[in-house]
Amino acid sequence: MLFRSILAYLLLFSVALQPFRREMTVILFEFNKAYIVKNLCENRNRPQLHCGGKCYLTKQLKAQQAQPDEATAERIPHLPVMPWFCTDPVGFPLTTPVALLPASIPAGRYTESVTTSFLPGVFQPPRD
């Protein structure tokens, strides 16, 4: 039971933070800036550029921006456009003539059986 509730909160938290992926990338960059400058920066051998790992951050943000476009393109099927509309009636009217409609729609017997006599018995305080 505890595992399920932890898993539910974790999934809810991850879904709630999904719109903030770009901001999370920048925050994680700031937390790991020393490691990124030392190991992952493309300009780590040229300190005169004063890159500070911004090249790595730019590359990550561009990759993240291109990622949803690829996912959206995969989800949308590429189907040929087919004309599914009909310009010429096929021989049947699309509206029902008024003469064929009933004059009045009967309400039925369900309205006769509605009663409130049983309701007060439900809303009583518990007895000791």
Q: Give a yes or no: residue 41 inside a domain.
A: yes
Query: Chain-wide mean pLDDT for the chain?
Result: 74
**Structural domain containing residue 35:** 20-74
pLDDT digits (tens, 9 = 90+) for 81-116: 665 655 555 555 555 555 555 556 555 555 555 555
Q: Flag the least confident range among 23-32, 77-86, 110-119.
A: 110-119
Q: Give a yes or no: residue 32 inside a domain.
A: yes
Which of 51, 52, 48 lies closest to 30, judged by CA?
52
Q: Give a yes or no: residue 85 inside a domain.
A: no
Q: Give a yes or no: residue 26 inside a domain.
A: yes
The tally of domains found in the chain comes to 1
Give the per-residue pLDDT at 8.
93
What is the pTM assigned to this prediction?
0.45
Which of 23, 53, 58, 59 lies closest to 41, judged by CA?
53
State yes or no: pLDDT of 35 exceeds 80.
yes
Positive or negative torsion for Cα 71, 40, 22, 5: positive
Q: Give a yes or no: residue 58 inside a domain.
A: yes
State yes or no: pLDDT of 121 exceeds 80.
no
Q: Give a yes or no: residue 37 inside a domain.
A: yes
| Mean pLDDT confidence for 36-56 | 86
Is there a contact between 91 and 71 (Cβ–Cβ < 8 Å)?
no
| Mean pLDDT confidence for 44-58 | 86
Provide the pLDDT confidence category of residue 9 given band limits of 50, 70 and 90.
Answer: very high
Q: Give a yes or no: residue 122 inside a domain.
A: no
| Most confidently modeled range among 7-11, 20-24, 82-86, 89-93 | 7-11
Q: Give a yes or no: residue 39 inside a domain.
A: yes
